[in-house]
């Protein structure tokens, strides 16, 4: 669920944000303000980033959380076999975000207009 929210945050960042506290203003446009602030403020690059830079920070966060999330899904398969079907769905959606959406976002944000 966090990965989905992070992807939604990146999409919301495409909208321009006026200068000032860009992290705060950007996070107010996302589905989870608190999560957005936590993720962006934990990265020192956010203090000098524009909205594209903030989106790239979130792309990096998704990549960094990959192993932890896959580990949690795999552990849940072992400890909660009755949840196999929802875990399969979660696993498929997460892999789509990490393997397809994240690289596409990273490439798109890095391209120069």
Question: Which domains, from first to last, does the chain contain?
Answer: 2-110 (1.20.140.40)
Specify the pLDDT at position 59: 79
32 CB burial (10 A radius; 0-12, 13-18, 19+): middle
Q: What is the pLDDT of residue 5?
A: 60
| DSSP secondary structure string for all residues of the chain | -HHHHHHHHHHHTTS---SSSHHHHHHTTSS-HHHHHHHHHTSGGGGG--HHHHHHHHHHHHHHHHHHHHHHHHHHHHH-GGGHHHHHHHHHHHHHIIIIIHHHHHHHHHS--
Residue 17 is predicted with a pLDDT of: 46
Q: What's the rounded Cα separation, in Å, for the pair 83 and 104?
A: 30
pLDDT one digit per residue (tens) for the chain, 113 residues: 555 565 555 555 544 444 448 898 888 988 889 998 899 999 999 988 888 888 888 878 877 887 788 888 889 999 999 999 999 988 888 777 777 655 656 555 555 45
Q: What pLDDT score does 70 carry? A: 82
List the structure tokens of 101: 């959406």
- What's residue 56's pLDDT? 84
pTM for the full predicted model: 0.60
The reported pLDDT for the residue numbered 63 is 77
């Amino acid at each position: 669920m966090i990965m989905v929210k992070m992807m939604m945050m990146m999409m919301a960042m495409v909208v321009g944000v006026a200068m000032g506290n860009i992290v705060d203003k950007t996070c107010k446009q996302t589905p989870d303000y608190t999560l957005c602030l936590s993720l962006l403020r934990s990265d020192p690059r956010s203090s000098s980033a524009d909205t594209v830079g903030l989106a790239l920070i979130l792309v990096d966060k998704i990549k960094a959380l990959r192993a932890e999330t896959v580990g949690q899904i795999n552990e849940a398969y072992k400890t909660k076999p009755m949840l196999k079907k929802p875990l399969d769905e979660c696993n498929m959606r997460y892999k789509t975000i990490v393997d397809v959406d994240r690289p596409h976002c990273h490439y798109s944000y890095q391209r120069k207009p």
